Structure formats: structure tokens, C-alpha cells
Amino acid sequence: MALLTQFDPIVNLQSLNRWLDGEFPGFRAYTGTSTEETWRPAVDILEDVDAFIIEIEIPGIAETSIDMKIEKQVLTLTGARETDEQNPTRKTIRRERAQGNFVRSFQLPDTVDTEKITAKLKQGVLRIELLKKEETKPRTIKVEMK
């Protein structure tokens, strides 16, 4: 059985980065992806008979700030949550909401029809539906008795 798997070789460094930032505000560990601050939105991956479904929490991000591409069976999402530092008379005392760029990549199984992928953003959750190829779906064969 082919599973949809998360493709992220630096997840441990990013977890360490989040922990260090909580313990030592302002400290940023190297994440290996960018010189800018990066963050990882929470993801749920579901499967039913017809499709895999990826749900990603990205509140506060516009559809126009999200890019999605597929290359060699890897689905990659990139986007950004802009900082709200435009007011020069205001300073941040504490920041818990992630700002900046994010990248999430997923290795797709061969059962996904990459021509039939849809994505919808609703109430801060991006829902990506990855339909399975018809030939890989289970089917029922009726046995006739003679």
C-alpha cells in the first residue's frame, strides 16, 4: 500500500528552532531552508477510497501568497505571512504567531492522478484534494455461480 508521506529532511532542526525561540526569544537556529525566518504550518493528511486530502492551517494568508507545484511526484507548497511591522511608533513586545515564509513538501504515491488536484482556502485552512488514479481504486467483482 502506497502512503502519502511528508518529505522534510530538516523537521528536527525546525522543532529545535521553535523550542529555542520560546526559551530564548530572538535566538534563531539554522533551519537550512532560508536566511529569512521560516515556519511550518500544521498539517493533517487523510485518505479515503477516492483521494488523499491534505489540510494545512494557514490563517491570515491570502490565496495570492501561496504557490503550489509538483515535480517528480513531490508536491511543494510555499507561501508567506507578512509581518505587521509597518507602524514605526509601535514595537513588538511578544510575538507568538509565526511570520515570514513557509515551505511544505510531500512525496506523492504513484496512485495520485497529478492532473486532478484541487486546492481551496476556507477559514484559514488550505484543503488539497489529490484524486487517485481510476486503475488504483478498489473495485468489486461479482462472482457468478453456475
- What's residue 18's pLDDT? 64
What is the domain range of residue 118? 38-84+97-132
> Is 102 among the domain residues?
yes
Domain assignment present for 7: no
Residue 34's pLDDT is what? 45
- What pLDDT shows up at residue 33? 45
> What are the grid coordinates assigned to 29, written together?
537556529
CATH number of the domain within which 69 lies: 2.60.40.790
Q: Model confidence over 26-81: pLDDT tens digits?
A: 444 444 444 444 788 999 999 998 999 999 999 989 888 999 999 989 999 999 98
* Domain total of the chain: 1
pLDDT, tens digit, for every residue of 101-141? 999 999 999 899 999 999 999 999 999 999 999 877 677 88
CA distance 56 to 69: 15
Go through 78-93 and write b for each residue having 16 or more CB atoms within 10 A of its CB, e for each that does not: ebbbeeeeeeeeeeee
For the chain, what's the residue count? 146
Does any domain span residue 4?
no
pTM of the model: 0.67
Alpha helices, DSSP H, located in the chain = 11-23
Residue 75 included in any domain: yes
